[in-house]
Copies of this chain bind each other. A is one copy, B any other.
């Protein structure tokens, strides 16, 4: 790799940390309407950062939701075009009491920077920016053409990104996409993600007629939607930890023994996965490892429930309604719309007579599989090996990046998921953090990837799309 570019990255470490702190300070919770101004300010800051990096056309594209920050450099005719994708929105910070430092007041803890969004996905986005800057600042050009697309709605399902990509399909025309909001295998051990789970989120509400009622005067004689909802949710898993939704497993692939064997070598062990979660309370489907449960098997998680009174003191009332949130993770060949229908049907079947059920669910996303033998994947593997000094492993992610499926289908190109979060960085959790030395190596890997992919002779877009 260009020594000048590498030196530029090394010299820029302090500035990188300061940039990341500034980026994390924006409370860009895209799903929270009260945070609209914070999200907009964050987008503006990011566009400015891209311009300072040398991408002078950096700008905001308006959407019905939050703006998309985009930028490009097209100075390498004949070279491939790399789409860097990331997101500047973050998960809600709740529960706030669990944060040791405020979520939007970035704090240094050893070599980590702590704050909501630090690793998902602001740190990795800055890796992309700094990688581009390292070439432009030292040689005035990039090894390959680059387009950046950083959205503000990833954490609530990217509702407006597909339309943007479709509208600008011809102009964007990437030969490969790079996304970095995934995890490494372990500290110092890089990983390339060979597939992601899909996801569908549900909001479920059970209610009866009438208001809250005195639990003394009515307790024992009035339907209790909160108790009914508990009973419904308790019936969504069977005693072997399988999701008790008829038909949901019909399309799930049987795990071939050789894959099971490969996972036993490459994939995180149960112990590693639990330690990464800071928990020693495993659970799940009998007959599968924790890695398999979180990657090649679907999962249904009750992520929230609220009903009745839980404030200070006692209010003894029979609630009139209760709400739950469910999150379903899907594996290859499962169809989000079909899965949504099956879950809704099951919820309806479990709802007691007399109570009203309301379910809202988004369109959801598909699981993906990424071709490991594609030249761009091999270039990424080499870039990571050079940056981290260790051969990367190909693993699946249990998380969902809906846009991976969209990009693969729309452009017919692979998505290289080379992420720099570490197990235990607490994506979506309180005290989210990112390891700064890992991000510096990640920046070097992204910079080197641009050189390697330019030399790799990628198949032309038209061939692939044919």
Contacts and interface: CB of A to CB of B under 8 A. Distances in A.
Interface of A: 29-34, 91-92, 94-95, 98, 155-157, 183, 197, 199, 201, 208-224, 226-227, 229-231, 233-235, 237, 270, 273-274, 276-285, 290, 293-294, 297-320, 322-323, 325, 327, 329, 354-355, 397-400, 426-431
Contact of A297 (B209, B220, B397): B220
Nearest to A325: B310
Given A212-B98, A283-B221, A305 B156 contact: no
A155 B281 CA distance: 38
Nearest to A196: B216
B212 A313 contact: no
Contacts of A398: 214, 216-220
Given A95-B309, A220-B398, 16 more contacts: A30-B313, A31-B315, A212-B429, A212-B430, A215-B301, A217-B294, A219-B329, A220-B285, A221-B284, A222-B277, A226-B302, A281-B355, A303-B309, A303-B317, A305-B305, A310-B325
Contact of A293 (B157, B213, B221, B304): B221
Contacts of A293: 220-221
14 contacts: A183-B217, A214-B399, A216-B428, A218-B398, A220-B297, A221-B299, A222-B279, A223-B282, A226-B305, A227-B233, A304-B308, A304-B309, A314-B327, A315-B428
Contacts of A216: 197, 199, 294, 329, 397-400, 428
A367 to B, nearest CB: 11
A237 B228 CA distance: 11
Contact of A279 (B217, B219, B223): B223
A49 to B, nearest CB: 25
A211 B98 contact: yes
Nearest to A33: B312
B284 A314 contact: no
Contact of A214 (B279, B284, B304, B429): B429
A196 to B, nearest CB: 8
Contacts of A226: 302-305
A25 to B, nearest CB: 20
B305 A221 contact: no
A6 B218 CA distance: 36
A283 B222 contact: yes
A290 B220 CA distance: 8
Contact of A301 (B31, B208, B318): B318
B315 A208 contact: no
Contact of A305 (B30, B208, B307): B307
A233 B308 CA distance: 14
B316 A199 contact: yes
B277 A301 contact: no
A9 to B, nearest CB: 28
A213 B273 CA distance: 11
A32 to B, nearest CB: 5
A255 B142 CA distance: 88
Given A157-B314, A211-B278, A325 B308 contact: yes
Contacts of A219: 294, 299-301, 327, 329, 398
Contacts of A312: 31-34, 92
Contact of A294 (B221, B234, B274, B302): B221
A284 to B, nearest CB: 5
A265 to B, nearest CB: 19
Given A281-B223, A315-B94, A397-B216, A211 B303 contact: no
A223 B241 CA distance: 11
A407 B314 CA distance: 23
Given A219-B329, A284-B220, A214 B303 contact: no
Contact of A233 (B199, B230, B276): B230
B318 A303 contact: yes
Given A211-B278, A222-B281, A233-B227, A31 B313 contact: yes
Nearest to A270: B221
Given A305-B305, A325-B309, A354 B281 contact: yes
